[in-house]
Structure 1
Amino acid sequence: MLRTYQDLLAVGENEKDRMEFVRGAVQDHTSSDDYKIAAAAEAYYAKHNLTIEKFQKFLYKANGQAYPDLFSANYKLKTLFFRRFVIQQVQYVLSNGVTFEQDGTKERLGETFDSRLSQMAKKAMVDKVAFGFWNYDHLEVFSYADTPNEPGFVPLYDQDDGFLKAGIRYWSLEETQTKRYTLYELDGYTEYIQRKGEDIQVSQDKRPYRQTIRRSEVDGETVESGDNYPGFPIIPMYANDLRQSELVGIRESIDCYDFVKSGLANEIDDSSGIYWVLKNSGGMDDVDIARFLDRMRTLRAATVDSDDGGGAEAHTLDVPYQAREAMLTRLRSDLYEDFQLVDMDKIMSGNLTATAIRMGYQSQDDKCGDFEYYIRDFIGKLLALLDIDDTPSFQWNRIANQLEETQMVMTAATYLDSEAILRHLPWLTNDEVDDILERKDAEAMDRLGVTNNANRPGAPVDGSGTGTAGTENSEGLLGSLG
């Protein structure tokens, strides 16, 4: 049973009890079904098919005893559907980054915010949930399931309101078998360590999240003061309303695709277009026949005793592949439909008008629109934590018939203002539109300033004083136009 925030409160402040709670919570987490699904999803995302990698062919002797088949081909081909799907969905929504209405918001969130947000969205899709930790002036991403390259995170939710109130980040160093834990609470974080053959112990007492640190050669680092955020600085982002990994529901289809594909490769390799008929060989079991075939593949020759009518006859064979090809095509189509993503093979083989492209993207738009709500929810909670009043916006990375859409925009240009025209052009990002609008405003101010200053009686002809007079006239004109 997974631990909750109330379980942590019940432990109290006794450090020994808290250390045992931390270790036990991690053990419960890594033995849960949700963790096992997330760990499997991490493997599929990392280009591993766990099902087919564990598959082993067997041969059987006459008495029924099984032996691993070491003679015939045993390809374990993997198709990277899951990784492709995750990247396609995240890039569709976040490849152009996030834009805010206020100029200073993006700067406050740090230069790496867009890349960390993209990383977090991928983790959420793979694991079912990812966690964003606001570390003073930048965002860090915590993974639900640990991998060889990154720690895992145990969430401790409040039983009453369901909010995340605490959590434990854990990782281990395989070379030294040392385990580390960090307990995050509302009022700070504590670090623990457990070395091989030793009990768990405190490696760093509880500290506030925001610290003023003094460094000197004599004393080293000294925390002079610190405070915490108005809320818990670790915020979850979910992938969907089911709070499940996106691997759930499609793993079986991916496994089936890889098995069919591998089976076809095995049959082509084993048969090489030829099959053998062995006469008077009733005493041979599967292992004996496999050895004969292996010898034929390697030496291209074998001795056969024909005194008793035995022998071996070779026959040509056309490998039946049509059914497998049809099955692979069907599985690929079903995978894209079930994941609600666009299969570019279908798009490129069809009508490439703007209307047809939009219709082809409808299912992906529906899913990504739902996914965007969870990204917005995360960003909204982060902005509230930092006391920032702003609203995010996204420009999706949709493939379009840009010429046709541009012609549509220009046809309606007489009814639109400059910003509306720029916003609807498919080949401009929101940041590019903002830059263009700023340059156009600056050009208009300069043009108005120079013109009005030149016509003003008594104005200096050498340009001195142009800035002040021009600015005053420009503000007045813009104000009257507004």
Structure 2
Amino acid sequence: MSLSLDEKKDVLQRIIDDQHRRKDIAIAREYYYIDNPILRRGVLQDVKDLLRKADNRIAHNFHQLITDEEVDYLLSYAPIIDIGSETGNADIVKALGDDFLKTSRKLDIEACNSGCAWLHYWVDVNKKAIEYAIVPSDQVIPIMADSLKEQVERLIRYYPIIRTEGIAKKHYLRIEVWDDTSCEYFIVPGDRDSFTLGGAKDDGTIYHKHGKIPFIMFPNNNRHQGNLAKYQGLIDAYDIVVSGYVNDVMDIQQVIYILENYGGEDLDEFRKDLKRFKTVSVGNDGIDGSNGDLRTLTIDIPVEARNSLLDYLKKQIYTAGQALSRDVTSVGNASGQTLKFFYRDLDLKVGDKEVEFTAGFKELIRAICEYKGVAIKEPISITFTRNRISNDQETAQICKDSVGVIPTELIWANHPFVDDIEKCRKLWEAEHAEEDDYSKDFKPGSYEKKETQEE
């Protein structure tokens, strides 16, 4: 059943109200791709200032560094999935496909920039499998249910399309409204910032059998807040200071001469005398004893103050972003506890995201299991492997000392040499099976004489 006129008006009003959020996402992406505002506005305040002509515009990639660091820390390795069955785990890994880690990393980047990433899944009839893909966050508006629980009741997706009509290309906005059974869609002329309901057409309905809205949210944190808001002003200040610093260094080469009662005929003669004889002839106008003079006007650069400000801003950027400080170049042979100290802020930030992403991955796995008929025998377990600098020698010694105290699989999971627990288990079982056969063959009393059946 198509949407009523009032329902369409409500949807369009929500899209209009979403402009501010969409703008914030666009700004975060600009900073991630190092297209900072400094590149467009510069630092010159007054173009008439004779002392300042250089207009260098230098953007810094702090947001990209902090975002990529977070993604690499959490998702350098694919999350380990366990539903309580080896065959079931294998089916899940096969269904997720080879691009699962790549998609997960893109989800993380999108979440960092927008505050909440979205994954859409559907059934590919030809492949007879569930497919999934990331939907840009600025195309999605969730409509939450009136409940204490965070539950999406309906979901709006809107995005621009171009249609060729005759010899002309016209711009439309496609709008989809999803619920747990269907997708109602229609298009309106215009784009996301300018459209009209008067020309709405192509109403239609698509039904699905998922039993829930086939969109999964992956929040950046429990506040659904992106990273840039925490340090955007600090990055802008850093860009301005560095750009102004470089401008001053270039402008200092421009010396302005102030002449009083010059005794020569013209400025060309002045420049020749200054260059050839290193002297300039000045006169006396005889009025009130006013003598000639030559002075220079240059720019004074407060180097120490600027360096101190840059150090402060850089420190504050990494502190606000809960990132690893780039000033720590070496930690030597530090112990595991010392190394963990450097990661304390990053662990807090990533721990919050890990909780949110775990819930999203579990929802995707349940959808795959339901479609493929795979039984979930135990609560779904999602294990992330955090990629941090560690003291491998210390960790290996702890694993060695833990043999016989904790289960072997837990030791494997934490050993620095083990990346794949399933592969480790198979190698372990094959190796010990050979040892068991060897021990059995050479155990005293295992041989008998064929004639008498005596030992």
The alignment's TM-score, normalised by the length of structure 2, stands at 0.74
Query: Are residues 1:330 and 2:323 paired?
Result: no
Asked if 2 retains the 8 angstrom alpha-carbon contact of 1:276 and 1:312, the reply is: no
Task: Identify the residue that residue 246 of structure 2 maps to in structure 1.
Answer: 265
Task: Identify the residue that residue 94 of structure 2 maps to in structure 1.
Answer: 107
Q: Following the alignment from structure 1 to structure 2, what is the Cα–Cα distance between the partners of residues 181 and 452?
A: 71
Choose from 346, 354, 372 the match for 2:354.
Answer: 372
Instruction: Summarize the alignment of residues 53-202 of structure 1 with structure 2, pairs less than 5 Å apart.
Output: 53-55=40-42, 57-59=44-46, 72-102=53-83, 103=89, 104-136=91-123, 137-145=130-138, 152-161=139-148, 162-173=150-161, 176-195=170-189, 200-202=199-201
Instruction: Summarize the alignment of residues 247-396 of structure 1 with structure 2, pairs less than 5 Å apart.
Output: 247-272=228-253, 275-279=255-259, 313-314=295-296, 319-348=301-330, 352-386=334-368, 387=370, 388=376, 389-396=379-386
Deviation at 1:355, TM superposition (A): 3.0
Choose from 231, 234, 242 the match for 2:215.
Answer: 234
Q: Following the alignment from structure 1 to structure 2, what is the Cα–Cα distance between the partners of residues 29 and 51?
A: 26
Task: Identify the residue that residue 453 of structure 2 maps to in structure 1.
Answer: none
Question: Percent identity, aligned pairs only?
Answer: 19
Query: Are residues 1:25 and 2:18 paired?
Result: no
- The superposition leaves residues 77-122 of structure 1 with CA deviations (integer Å, 9 ceiling, x where unpaired) of 1111111111111221111111112423322333323222221122
Deviation at 1:458, TM superposition (A): 12
Q: Following the alignment from structure 2 to structure 1, what is the Cα–Cα distance between the partners of residues 328 and 347?
A: 16
Q: Which moved more, 1:371-380 or 1:436-445?
A: 436-445
Unaligned runs of 5+ in 1: 1-11, 61-66, 146-151, 210-227, 282-291, 460-482
Q: Following the alignment from structure 1 to structure 2, what is the Cα–Cα distance between the partners of residues 75 and 338?
A: 27
Report the count of equivalent residues.
395
Q: Which moved more, 1:127-136 or 1:348-357?
A: 348-357
Does the residue aligned with 2:177 lie in a helix, a strand or coil?
A: strand
Q: Following the alignment from structure 1 to structure 2, what is the Cα–Cα distance between the partners of residues 311 and 201?
A: 78
Give the aligned residue type for 1:278: I
Task: Identify the residue that residue 126 of structure 2 maps to in structure 1.
Answer: none
Deviation at 1:128, TM superposition (A): 1.1
Give the aligned residue type for 1:406: A
Return closer, same or farther for 1:314/1:119 CA change in 2, 3 Å cut-off.
same
Deviation at 1:349, TM superposition (A): 5.8
Q: Following the alignment from structure 1 to structure 2, what is the Cα–Cα distance between the partners of residues 335 and 112?
A: 33
Asked if 2 retains the 8 angstrom alpha-carbon contact of 1:99 and 1:393, the reply is: yes
Higher RCO (C-alpha 8 Å, min separation 6): 2
Return closer, same or farther for 1:202/1:383 CA change in 2, 3 Å cut-off.
farther
- The superposition leaves residues 329-371 of structure 1 with CA deviations (integer Å, 9 ceiling, x where unpaired) of 2211111112112124315266634332121112211221122
Unaligned runs of 5+ in 2: 84-88, 124-129, 163-168, 262-266, 286-290, 371-375, 451-455
Q: Which moved more, 1:124-133 or 1:112-121?
A: 112-121
Q: Which moved more, 1:116-125 or 1:74-83?
A: 116-125
Deviation at 1:15, TM superposition (A): 5.0
Return closer, same or farther for 1:181/1:243 CA change in 2, 3 Å cut-off.
same
Deviation at 1:276, TM superposition (A): 2.8
Q: Following the alignment from structure 1 to structure 2, what is the Cα–Cα distance between the partners of residues 69 and 157?
A: 58
Q: CA RMSD in A?
A: 3.8
